[in-house]
Structure 1
Amino acid sequence: MTFSLAIVGRPNVGKSTLFNRLVGKRLALVDDQPGVTRDLREGEARLGDLRFIAIDTAGLEDAKDESLPGRMRRLTEQAVESADACLFLVDARAGILPDDQTFADILRRKARHVILAANKAEGNAGESGFLEAYSLGLGEPIRLSAEHGEGLGELLEALSPIADEVDATAEIPATGVAVDDEDGAAQAGTPMPTEARPLQVAVIGRPNAGKSTLVNRILGEDRLLTGPEAGITRDAISIRTAWDGTPVRLFDTAGMRKRAKVQDKLEKLSVADGLRAVRFAEVVVVLLDAEKPFETQDLRIADLAEREGRAVVLAVNKWDLEPAKQKRLSDLREEFERLLPQLRGAPLVTVSAKTGKGLDRLHAAVMKAYDIWNRRVPTAVLNRWLAEMTEAHPPPAPGGRRIRLRYMTQVKTRPPGFVVMCSHPKELPESYRRYLVNGLREHFDMAGTPIRLTFRSQADKNPYKGRRKSTPSRLRKHLDK
């Protein structure tokens, strides 16, 4: 039985740095700017022989209203109440501030176990702040340096009795805990069988499209921070759950704006983290705002998912606010076909993340897109189809040289990739390639998925093509005479 440890404290005391060190990788964004972390991020941590769940939380601030800091504080307090233990970090270089005293009182009331640690305590600069930490009344503090890895042995000694206590009292497996595993996976919500490999689904889109609200609705709980402010989510949070009986790992990503508008270093890190989530995903849900769908940035985001070779589903959010639904849906489908021809046939689903309406259709669309993404066509069937296509529309003959398409096979899935062996592949026009790709989509029901079609010549496989025959050295000497 593993236990959970919530790392809490004021903004910029080094919580994310310590979290990354405990999990052994850079899962959480780290920056000198305070308040980088906003959502809860959890991962499998390792300290000596001890294995546990580390929870990186937002910085505690003295706010209780409906403002963004107030909502972040409530999310952190939920983690404090649900965790088996809390590691309260203070900044040894800044000393003990009034907020530290306030939060120490909160932890005394709400946390099961509290471990106090003075971070940034390396060298003489943190000596006075380390001694001040005794005034919090939470016992003897641990001298830590998350950046340099100092003090982790003392932390292990403090955590070991808590782990033993949890192991002794645990009889029923815990549920509802999200964990980033060694592959960046997360286990959350409904308990999942260990052998089930989750379908990886990333939700991407412009800021304020409702991505976090949608993920919360799928999870059935307010697991991610939401609100009217644009750009609340800063890094990609992965959560494992069961969606209508399907094991999935959901990636909630930061909103992606136009590159020219992204000047802040932290926003650049957030966008890079979102792009990484797209590369990890198998199905990408591009979330559009029903009020302003198919903005230029929406098209770029959808094209990015297609170029990365992911299965793509377009979801139009805030559909509950749309008055003329039938006419609007018809207009959206026409815009989709016109503006994103490379994704022609991909699912277009209307949803309301606020009410949950349409999530069943979204789940069905995701599963169908995933099935097509993995589809494989037998070689014999492909070649019969190719013969019919070339007979109906023969390839051109540039310069009087006829291009012959001799053989076709599928070389990969995820996404489907095909190779056609032919003569003069470099002279085959792009229009004929599109003709074959569209034919593949229509005939083999591969609508919407990226298709990779490559043309090769038999001569491409000959390593000696273009090389002059060399004369043996002994014969060359004889000829020279």
Structure 2
Amino acid sequence: MSKPIVAIVGRPNVGKSTLFNALAGEKISIVKDTPGVTRDRIYADISWLDYQFTMIDTGGIEPDTGDMMLSHMRDQAEIAIETADVIIFLTDVRQGLVDADYQVADMLRRSQKPVVLAVNKVDNYEKFIMDTYEFYNLGLGTPFPVSANSKLGFGDLLDEVIANCNPETLKEEEDERPRVAIIGKPNAGKSSMINKMLGEDRLIVSDVAGTTRDAIDTVIRRGDKEYVFIDTAGLRRKSRIKEDLERYSVIRTVAAVERCDVAILVIDAEEGITEQDAKIAGIAHERGKGMIIAVNKWDLVEKNDKTIYKYTNKIREVLSFMSYAELVFVSAKTGQRFQKIFDLLDVVIENHALRVQTGVLNEILAEAVAMKQPPSDKGKRLKLYYMTQVSVKPPTFVVFVNDKKLTHFSYTRYLENQIRNTFGFRGTPIRIYTRERKER
């Protein structure tokens, strides 16, 4: 199910990260008074009543000078407009309405995306409620008073966010065609790859990082199969600051990965695998997507008989959390091994949606337990009664046990390996959960 994406936009120090953390229910962004510390976790899955959505904190690194700051706010709003289904525009009741708020409001209005206006730092309703009325002047409808710090006013705010989530965003499910996201750092050659697959230059490719304009879905037909490619290459602007560019590429990745079945991580062979690649891959892994790693620009690497092993080992080491991912060395320039990408895609798409019969699963479980005793603690041993598959995309299994506390992650990993040995599940993560069941 594709979840709607909700982005928080606002000036520095209005409390974006505090609101984000309070809604996410855990300290994800680091909140300090130094602008720009919101670096790492900038997205989280939020549940409200029966609804789920992905929230993005656009934070960013904020220059202090007036004009720099405005251009920065505009960039931020632009990213939100581009990727989000609904935008929360956060303002500050104590600073009141300022020029920058009006300018961002204009942009948001023109975008015609739904905007929910929130006025933060209303810790005392009686004292500040009159001041919130001033924000009607932005022309964005009713201002919702909240206090991110004291966690007040969230219910009304989230109800409004859900009311603005377009049911259309949830309809993509009816499209049966597999959806593939091309992800990776700016300039790894994502657009060139899609162009090569299309056999025509539909996406603008140039050597400047971040030139692709918008994420455009591209349908590629091969034989009797159609694939929908979601391009994340686009960043609207050339960033002045490396962290900025990285942050935006993470936001774009979240938006695309949310909508795909399989992600192809493009790595620049000349540069080798980096931490930023791992961060981007982690987004797809966390969201349980099928995974192919394509090392691009392979034609530019000087090779001997050990090169491919060295590259493979390095990638497997950095991406050790996704040992299931398929790996292919390609060149978007020459088209080398592009046929292989499609062959792998078909395998991964099939595995990502594979169902295993319960009877067969339990045979594997019995065999696994016979080969390796489950762990025990203080004389009490873990018993595994029964295993069943509860969902696909990614394949998800539940094991019923006598005592959840005795389940050690290493034993769960052992079970995963046994399942993989039998069914392969190449290219897809699998999830195994344990549930307790009292002995009869």
TM-score bracket for this pair, using the shorter chain length: 0.5 to 0.7
**Pair 247,417 (structure 1): closer, same or farther in 2 beyond 3 Å:** same
d(CA) in 2 for partners of 1:184 and 1:393?
A: 44
| From 428, 433, 437, the counterpart of 1:454 | 433
d(CA) in 2 for partners of 1:276 and 1:342?
A: 22
- Counterparts of 1:351-370 in structure 2, within 5 Å, are 351-370=330-349
Partners of 2:290 and 2:429 within 8 A in 1: yes
- Counterparts of 1:361-400 in structure 2, within 5 Å, are 361-400=340-379
| Percent identical | 37
RMSD: 3.6
d(CA) in 2 for partners of 1:413 and 1:310?
A: 11
Q: 2:207 matched to 1:228?
A: yes
Partner of 2:284, secondary structure, is: helix
d(CA) in 2 for partners of 1:216 and 1:184?
A: 28
C-alpha offsets along residues 219-267 of structure 1, whole Å, 9 cap, x if unaligned?
A: 1211111111112235422112313542011111137999x94337xx8
- Please report how far the alpha carbon of residue 410 of structure 1 lies from its aligned counterpart in structure 2 after TM superposition: 0.6
- Please report how far the alpha carbon of residue 183 of structure 1 lies from its aligned counterpart in structure 2 after TM superposition: 5.2
d(CA) in 1 for partners of 2:406 and 2:398?
A: 16
Residue of structure 2 in register with 1:432 after alignment: 411
Partners of 1:286 and 1:314 within 8 A in 2: yes
| From 315, 319, 327, the counterpart of 1:348 | 327
Partners of 2:185 and 2:249 within 8 A in 1: no
Q: 2:386 matched to 1:407?
A: yes
- Counterparts of 1:22-421 in structure 2, within 5 Å, are 32=74, 197-254=176-233, 261-263=242-244, 271-324=250-303, 326-421=305-400
State how many pairs are aligned: 285
Partners of 1:420 and 1:453 within 8 A in 2: yes
Partners of 2:324 and 2:429 within 8 A in 1: no
- The structure number with the bigger radius of gyration is 1
- Please report how far the alpha carbon of residue 299 of structure 1 lies from its aligned counterpart in structure 2 after TM superposition: 1.4
Q: Structure 2 counterpart of 1:226, which letter?
A: V
Structure 2: which 5+ residue stretches go unaligned?
1-70, 80-109, 112-137, 140-167
TM-score with structure 1 length normalisation?
0.53
C-alpha offsets along residues 267-305 of structure 1, whole Å, 9 cap, x if unaligned?
A: 856642331111100010000011122211111211221
d(CA) in 2 for partners of 1:233 and 1:427?
A: 51
Partners of 2:361 and 2:388 within 8 A in 1: yes
d(CA) in 1 for partners of 2:244 and 2:309?
A: 37
d(CA) in 2 for partners of 1:389 and 1:448?
A: 23
Q: Structure 1 counterpart of 2:416, which letter?
A: V
Q: Structure 2 counterpart of 1:444, which letter?
A: F
Partners of 1:374 and 1:415 within 8 A in 2: yes
- Please report how far the alpha carbon of residue 440 of structure 1 lies from its aligned counterpart in structure 2 after TM superposition: 1.4
Residue of structure 1 in register with 2:3 after alignment: none
- Please report how far the alpha carbon of residue 196 of structure 1 lies from its aligned counterpart in structure 2 after TM superposition: 7.5
d(CA) in 2 for partners of 1:446 and 1:223?
A: 33
Q: Structure 1 counterpart of 2:371, which letter?
A: A
d(CA) in 1 for partners of 2:373 and 2:431?
A: 21
Q: Structure 2 counterpart of 1:384, which letter?
A: E
d(CA) in 2 for partners of 1:403 and 1:33?
A: 54
Partner of 1:312, secondary structure, is: strand
Partner of 2:244, secondary structure, is: coil
Q: Structure 2 counterpart of 1:336, which letter?
A: I
C-alpha offsets along residues 375-394 of structure 1, whole Å, 9 cap, x if unaligned?
A: 11110111111011001101
Partners of 1:236 and 1:270 within 8 A in 2: no
d(CA) in 1 for partners of 2:201 and 2:183?
A: 19
Partners of 2:253 and 2:280 within 8 A in 1: no
TM-score with structure 2 length normalisation?
0.58
Q: Structure 2 counterpart of 1:388, which letter?
A: E
Partner of 1:217, secondary structure, is: helix
Partners of 1:415 and 1:452 within 8 A in 2: yes
Partners of 2:214 and 2:234 within 8 A in 1: no
Partners of 1:425 and 1:457 within 8 A in 2: yes
Q: Structure 2 counterpart of 1:402, which letter?
A: R
C-alpha offsets along residues 165-208 of structure 1, whole Å, 9 cap, x if unaligned?
A: xxxxxxxxxxxxxxxxx65999xxxxxxxx98321000000111
- Please report how far the alpha carbon of residue 350 of structure 1 lies from its aligned counterpart in structure 2 after TM superposition: 1.1
- Counterparts of 1:1-12 in structure 2, within 5 Å, are none
**Pair 184,395 (structure 1): closer, same or farther in 2 beyond 3 Å:** closer
Residue of structure 1 in register with 2:11 after alignment: none
d(CA) in 2 for partners of 1:294 and 1:427?
A: 37
- Please report how far the alpha carbon of residue 349 of structure 1 lies from its aligned counterpart in structure 2 after TM superposition: 0.7
- Please report how far the alpha carbon of residue 446 of structure 1 lies from its aligned counterpart in structure 2 after TM superposition: 1.4
